[in-house]
């Protein structure tokens, strides 16, 4: 017998978000934050993720305003950069990932750090007022925090810090939220990933679901 399943894409979309809103505990989020949290839950396929999502006050509003004003989006991986829906962007915002730049391998070697961390050094000229989206590498988030300890380093408008993993991920995100150098969004603990970071960007770039 053939499988019977929902084939209407719009219906799947509506039912998915209705399910999340029915099952997830979204009470603590502001109106600006809620749509972002819902999309992050959708990307993870995990009701309960909302318990780990943390925003600094005003982050969602500030990030949306920056995107409306044309802020570039700086991404730690190609997965994040390619996942962002260009049609959602309000100002044809530039999407930048420097991980594959030819200068990165030698820079990483000289820094005694990962390529993901070294690639951030190439962000400096675009960092001022940018939206940062880190979805993979804890070393990238740690290095960003180290960069921003320098008062002369340009400041991003907002940081989405959602690296995933067992080594350094929880610690990097805890460091981000302990003393945020810019408005920030994260997921506590080991959870995270490129799809979740992308979902946050896409939600912030959209006025509604």
Catalytic residues: 42
Phi and psi at 42, nearest 5°, equal -60, -45
For 28-37, the CB contacts below 8 A with 24+ separation are 29/53, 29/55, 30/55, 30/60, 32/60, 32/61, 32/64, 33/59, 33/60, 35/203, 35/206, 35/208, 35/209, 36/60, 36/185, 36/199, 36/200, 36/203, 36/204
58: number of Cβ within 10 Å? 14
Helix runs in 52-133, H state only: 59-68, 78-83, 104-111, 115-118
Alpha-carbon distance of 90 to 69, in angstroms, equals: 8
Alpha-carbon distance of 165 to 196, in angstroms, equals: 13
């Amino acid at each position: 017998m053939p499988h019977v399943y929902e084939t209407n894409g719009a219906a799947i979309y509506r039912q998915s978000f209705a399910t999340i809103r029915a099952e997830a505990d979204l009470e603590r989020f502001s109106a600006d934050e809620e749509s972002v949290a819902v999309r992050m839950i959708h990307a993870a396929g995990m009701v309960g993720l909302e318990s780990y999502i943390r925003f600094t006050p005003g982050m969602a509003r500030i990030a949306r305003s920056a995107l409306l004003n044309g802020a570039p989006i700086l991404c730690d991986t190609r997965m994040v950069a390619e996942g962002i829906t260009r049609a959602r962007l309000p100002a044809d915002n530039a999407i930048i990932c420097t991980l594959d730049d030819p200068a990165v391998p030698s820079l990483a070697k000289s820094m005694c750090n990962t390529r993901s961390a070294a690639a951030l050094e190439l962000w400096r000229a675009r960092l001022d007022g940018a939206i940062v989206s880190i979805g993979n590498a804890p070393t990238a988030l740690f290095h960003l925090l180290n960069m921003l300890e320098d008062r002369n380093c340009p400041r991003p408008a907002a940081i989405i810090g959602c690296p995933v993993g067992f080594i350094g991920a929880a610690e990097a995100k805890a460091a981000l939220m302990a003393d945020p150098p810019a408005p920030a969004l994260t997921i506590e603990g080991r959870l995270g990933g490129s799809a979740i970071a992308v979902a946050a960007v896409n939600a912030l770039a959209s006025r509604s679901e």
